[in-house]
Amino acid sequence: MRFTILIVIICLCTFQNRVKAQSRQDPNAEKILKEVTARYKKILGFRAEFKRESQNNQGKTMSISKGNIVVSGSRYHLNTGNTELFCDGKTVWTADARIKEITIADYSPGEEDITPERIYTFYQKGYKYIFIGEVKNEKDVWQSIDLEPENIEKEVSKIRLFVDRKTREIRKWIVYERGSNDREEFVVEKFQTLPAAPEKELQFNKSNFPGYKIVDLR
């Protein structure tokens, strides 16, 4: 599963021209990203609530949904309302409430897939990045960075992150679709670090889904 979990992204305008004009990564963006990575590497696990907003290429809202996720290493439990995903690092269980079906599959992310354990390091390979500027948000100041895949065949044309200048937490991100420029905006509404893995929340338990059909694709 391609992941985009807890990050922020804003406008585009000058991004492409500025990236093409430079032959190396932006040192300001690199410094911020390294600090973000260092912070999250210290965390044993986290719980987050987020809002997802689908927008067209003009920025008009098409749909809004909310979800939550618990992560510990490669293990996670993602709930988006109609769908719940459980992953123990080897197997993924996907429970779809609309059709009352649970699909079981091997967990085998591709080299470039953005997974929970890679969310804070994926930029290190295959991406150009540049510091865009600072944005005030209520009492906080967010620093925005654009990430652009070097592979122009990727479905995503760019990702814009918003990082809290003080805490180095990723607060929001926007994913832009190549070609259409439609976008998905994710905002982290709550974030809590965990001292240990919450075993009960991370483990798939069939008894919590009575009446669901099981489809084993392994």
* CA atoms in the 13 A half-sphere facing the CB of 111: 3
Cα–Cα distance, 170 to 191 (Å, whole number)? 10
Q: Which tokens is 66 given?
A: 């909310």
Tell me the mean pLDDT per 10 residues along the chain, length 218. Answer: 32 32 69 86 84 86 88 86 89 95 86 60 77 89 90 84 90 86 87 85 94 95
Cα–Cα distance, 93 to 206 (Å, whole number)? 10
Model confidence pLDDT, tens digit, residues 86-137: 999 899 999 999 999 999 999 876 655 556 666 666 667 778 889 999 999 8
For the chain, list the domains and their CATH numbers.
Answer: 15-216 (2.50.20.10)
Q: Can you list the positions of beta strands (E) in the chain?
A: 45-55, 61-72, 75-79, 83-87, 91-96, 101-106, 127-137, 140-149, 156-164, 170-177, 183-194, 213-216
111: region left, alpha or beta (phi > 0 left; psi from -120 to 50 alpha) = alpha
What pLDDT, on a 0 to 100 scale, did the predictor assign at position 112? 55
pTM score: 0.76
Cα–Cα distance, 17 to 35 (Å, whole number)? 26
Is the CB of residue 132 less than 8 Å from the CB of residue 144?
yes
Strand pairing class (91-96; 127-137): unpaired
Residues 6+ away with beta carbon under 8 Å from 161: 7, 8, 9, 144, 145, 146, 147, 170, 172, 173
